[in-house]
Structure formats: C-alpha cells, structure tokens
Chains A and B, each alone.
Chain A
C-alpha cells in the first residue's frame, strides 16, 4: 500500500498549502480559476457519491447545480433574502427535487437511469429559459450580491468582497463537503452504497433496502450540487440557463472519471487538474475538447480508476519493486 497517501501528515501538508494559496497566486485571473476549482470540486465530490460509490450514473447533476444557483439568485435578488438564509433553502430545494424525481427515476437501472436524468436536465434548462417571470428567461438574473458579511462582535465583520475572503469561504464549504463525504463513505452506510454498485441482487438478499439507499445517496449528492450552485451564483453575480446545462454535468463527469471515481481525492484532483490543463490548451481555441476526448478515452482504457487510481497503482508498483530488490 502507498503509505503516505494514508498518513495524516500528508493531509496536514495539503491543508497548510491550501491555507497559504492566496499569498502565492500571481494574478486575479489564476486566483479566480482556483476558487472555481474549489467550487467545482464540491460538485464533483457529490456526483462521485451517486456515480462512483453508488454506481448510478446521474446526468442531471448540472441541473441540480442550476437549481441551487437559481434558488440563491431568486431568493437574494427578487425576495431580498440574506445569502446565509438563501443558501440552505436553495440546497434543500435541490435535494427535495432529487427526492421527487429519484422516487420514480431510481426504479430504472443503468442506461435507463442515465437517460431519465438526462431528460430532467433538459427540462430544467427549458424551464429556466422560458419561465421569464421567475428566472428572467434567457437573460437570466443579474446583480446577485456576494455573500453577506458576517458580523463579529467587538472585532467588526468578515466581508466577502475580496477574492481572498471568497477563496476561504469556498474552501470552508469544500472542507465541509469532504468531511461529510468521508464520514459517509467510511461507514456501514457507505458500504451499503458500494454493495448496490457491486451487486444489487445480493444487496437486496442481505437485507439492504436498495431503493431507499439509492434515494438517500441521490438526495445527499443533489444537496451538495445545489449548495455548490448557490455559492457559484453568489460569487459570479449573474446567471443564465446555461448554469444548469449539460455542459456543467459533463464537466463534473470529466472531473470524476479522469480524477478517479469512488475515491475522495480523485474528483478533487480532477476539478483542479482539468481547468489548469484547459488553460494551457487555450492556444488550441475551439479544439481543446478534442484533446479532452482523447485523454478521456486513454484514461478509461489504461487506468479505469482515473488519475488517482493510476497514481496509487504506480506507487504500489514502485514500492513492490523496492521491497523485492
């Protein structure tokens, strides 16, 4: 086994690096990419719960991200709510929609579940584009304010106007997501999810209510997708129906599959590595996606468990060799 991946000090180092990032970013543009990567890592981690651990390919993840984004946008602009009240309500709405849709959709399996959720994604985009009164139609919603400042007695307040403060805000939510995913995945509850992915008939036979377990995984995944979407809307300040589009879903999918499904580090790695790679491939203009297509095929053939799986395998091999000689 690769010991340093399991050692606490390794994560302490990563955490320390994450905390001092703002002091080393060269410019605002790169900083924005890092903030967005943290945000998208939340989305990727939550997709990983339903896709990687539970084995149900949801293609509506972008739609739930969009529901969260519209939730925060509508509640804070039209209704004038505080961001801190709007965010949980938006995330819960996303989870609730997941519950309503999941009850019939999760009765289907494999490709049929993927198709059912794909349709849901399209419906959300269409509603967002046409319910002009609520969503502003194709123009979307503009002028969404950044998260409200948190007052602290005696000292003053924490405001979220600067990039640095927004970075720490997103980082805190990312850590919360990692914490909850970690608790879930390394527990008997998480094992029941993996059992369903591995062998659904046997899972039923050992007494797992697979319908309920799949539903729980789906609802939790959609809660965090909605939460990420809500933060996104607030930081980016204007949204349009494209926020719920299939492109967002496939970005999440790429992060999860290339980073490494069914691991906690994989989706985070994917969410950071791919946008950076995308930046370096800017010179290809419209043709970057071809490179991604080829990369995806290569990774799926040669390391089906993604970059994270590849790294683990490689280090295990090196370790074995060293032990052998």
Chain B
C-alpha cells in the first residue's frame, strides 16, 4: 500500500468538509475519487498533499506518517500534484517550469555556494537535470515549445506542462485534481492518454474527475464521496451499479 488515509476529518469553522474518510492507494494503480460538487474531493487532496492540516486522522505515505507535514516536505518524499485550475509559473518559460518541478531531486543544483562557484558537482547535477527535462519534454510532446513563455501556450499544452512538472521529478505518486476540467473533447482524450502513459511507466495515479465516461475507462478503482463521507468504493462497474452512487449523482428515485 502506497498511501493510506485513516479516518480523515477536516472542519472549516462549522463546516465539515471531509468527514471520517478512510481510503488507500495501492502501488501502480489508477484510483479515481469522484463525487458531486462540494463532496470534499479537493479538500481531501489538500489534506494529502499538505496544503491543509487534517482536524483529525492519519495519513501514511510509503510507510511514513506524514500527517501535518508541509507541502514541500511531502513533495520531496515523492508525491507530486497538479491543481484544479492549471497552476504554472506563467511568467517563466516551459523549460524553467520543468526545472522547478525537478529541483527537489537535486541537492547540489540548488546549493548556494555551489551555484556561486559553479562547482563540478553543480555542473554534473545541471547536466543530469537538462537530460531529464529533455526526456520529459518529449514525453509530454512539448519539445518545440521548450523555450516559449508559458503564457503563449494553448489550454491543452498548459495542462500537459502541468503534468510534466509533476512527472519530471520521478515521483512515486501523482495526484491529479481534475486534469481535464474545462477542456474540449480532443484535449480531454489527449490528457487521458497521457495519464495512462504516465501510469504505464510505473507511477501510481490518484485523480479527481467529473467526467464519468473518462473515469470508467481510465480508473482501476473508484472511491465515491458525498457530503464529505465515503459512500462507495470498488471497481468501475461495481460503483456504477451502486444505488447510493446513482442517487448522489441523479437524485432519489421517485416512489411510484
């Protein structure tokens, strides 16, 4: 088991955003977390990635208790994430964004004195980084745009870059927060394909999504949340047949 959340609770003032959710992510799988708007999916991601501290509960990643860790500490342990609204360093170039995604992997590359002196170790780290960036550029299909400013990229390209930023550091697990939200069908297909390709390289994937057809097709396992609680869990076909899930999405069947 790669990641485990035990009895996670998050209160914002009087609002209960996540209420006693227990789930796990197995190594190598694609797990989808679905649920209607306001079900607590994004908050759950924030708890896992350290953006918010859970009110109670425990999060374990690769056997280590990471509850309450700051996000940069969690990120350094091999968990990368993307954001709901495409989050990129939009004042910088494509390669700079990837370099920033990679930087947690290098210690010599960001050492202050090594940077000033251009030490041998610094140069070696820089070469390794550049090779890794080139490889990732190829993987996400943005070689041509490497030196462009992010602000000149199309929506689909920006989304691919945000996946690249997560991928370039060779993480164990990537959390995707609505990776295809707001995209047209063609871009959605492209991103879906890319996520599957990422998973095939051995990276475990956990994603939040609204597009049911895409999820049914992509995920190995689905967790369904509603009003902050988990209401179902299982293989796509099982979940789709679950009456509680249907009710949460479509409303209660009228008693005839």
**A and B from one complex:** yes
Please report A residues at the B interface, Cβ cutoff 8 Å.
180, 183-184, 187-192, 194-195, 197-199, 201-210, 216
Task: Judge whether B193 is part of the interface by a CB distance below 8 angstroms.
Answer: no
State how many angstroms separate the Cβ of B49 from the closest Cβ of chain A.
7
Q: B150-186 CB contact bits vs A (8 Å, 1 = yes)?
A: 0000000000000001000100000000000000000
Task: Judge whether B88 is part of the interface by a CB distance below 8 angstroms.
Answer: yes
State how many angstroms separate the Cβ of A283 from the closest Cβ of chain B.
41
**Cβ-defined contact, A192 with B110, below 8 A:** yes
Set A192, A198, A206: member contacting B90, Cβ < 8 A? A198
Q: Which 7 A-B pairs have the closest CB atoms?
A: A207-B104, A207-B75, A198-B89, A204-B71, A189-B115, A202-B87, A187-B115
Bound CA–CA A210/B103 (angstroms): 13
Task: Judge whether B197 is part of the interface by a CB distance below 8 angstroms.
Answer: no
Q: B80-118 CB contact bits vs A (8 Å, 1 = yes)?
A: 110100011111100010011101101001111001101
Contacts of B211 in A (CB 8 A): none
Task: Judge whether B72 is part of the interface by a CB distance below 8 angstroms.
Answer: yes
Q: Known contacts A183-B115, A184-B116, A194-B89; is A204 also within 8 Å of B100 by CB?
A: no
**Cβ-defined contact, B75 with A195, below 8 A:** no
State how many angstroms separate the Cβ of B113 from the closest Cβ of chain A.
10
Contacts of B70 in A (CB 8 A): 204
**What residue of chain A has the Cβ atom nearest to residue B171's Cβ?**
A207
State how many angstroms separate the Cβ of A309 from the closest Cβ of chain B.
13
**Cβ-defined contact, B100 with A203, below 8 A:** yes
Bound CA–CA A266/B49 (angstroms): 39
Task: Judge whether B51 is part of the interface by a CB distance below 8 angstroms.
Answer: yes
Set A184, A188, A198: member contacting B91, Cβ < 8 A? A198
Contacts of A195 in B (CB 8 A): 89, 92, 100
Bound CA–CA A184/B117 (angstroms): 10
Q: B115-129 CB contact bits vs A (8 Å, 1 = yes)?
A: 110100000001001
Q: Give the number of residues in B that approach A within 8 Å (Cβ atoms).
A: 34
**What residue of chain A has the Cβ atom nearest to residue B125's Cβ?**
A188
**Cβ-defined contact, A207 with B118, below 8 A:** no
Q: Known contacts A187-B115, A191-B92, A194-B91; is A206 also within 8 Å of B75 by CB?
A: yes
Contacts of B196 in A (CB 8 A): none
**Cβ-defined contact, B115 with A207, below 8 A:** no
Contacts of A216 in B (CB 8 A): 112
With most chain B CB atoms within 10 A of its CB, the pick from A194, A205, A208, A209 is A205
Contacts of A204 in B (CB 8 A): 70-72, 75
State how many angstroms separate the Cβ of A144 from the closest Cβ of chain B.
30
Contacts of A189 in B (CB 8 A): 110-112, 115
**Cβ-defined contact, B115 with A206, below 8 A:** no
Contacts of A194 in B (CB 8 A): 89, 91-92, 96
**Cβ-defined contact, A192 with B100, below 8 A:** yes
State how many angstroms separate the Cβ of B43 from the closest Cβ of chain A.
15
Q: Known contacts A183-B116, A201-B51; is A207 also within 8 Å of B103 by CB?
A: yes
Task: Judge whether B11 is part of the interface by a CB distance below 8 angstroms.
Answer: no
**Cβ-defined contact, B165 with A206, below 8 A:** yes
**Cβ-defined contact, A207 with B72, below 8 A:** yes
Contacts of A184 in B (CB 8 A): 115-116
Bound CA–CA A180/B117 (angstroms): 9
Bound CA–CA A174/B111 (angstroms): 24
8 Å CB interface, B126-160 against A: 126, 129
Could you list some 5 contacts between A and B, CB below 8 A?
A198-B89, A205-B51, A207-B72, A207-B104, A216-B112
5 further A-B pairs in the complex, CB-CB below 8 A; given A183-B116, A206-B100, A207-B103? A188-B106, A203-B100, A206-B80, A206-B169, A216-B112
8 Å CB interface, B11-61 against A: 49, 51
Contacts of A183 in B (CB 8 A): 115-116, 118
**What residue of chain B has the Cβ atom nearest to residue A220's Cβ?**
B112
State how many angstroms separate the Cβ of A96 from the closest Cβ of chain B.
16
Set A188, A202, A207, A210: member contacting B89, Cβ < 8 A? A202
State how many angstroms separate the Cβ of A155 from the closest Cβ of chain B.
30
Set A198, A199, A202, A207: member contacting B76, Cβ < 8 A? A207
Contacts of B126 in A (CB 8 A): 188
**Cβ-defined contact, B104 with A206, below 8 A:** yes
**What residue of chain B has the Cβ atom nearest to residue A189's Cβ?**
B115
Bound CA–CA A201/B83 (angstroms): 10
**Cβ-defined contact, A205 with B83, below 8 A:** yes
State how many angstroms separate the Cβ of B35 from the closest Cβ of chain A.
23
Bound CA–CA A203/B103 (angstroms): 11
Set B90, B103, B165: member contacting A188, Cβ < 8 A? B103
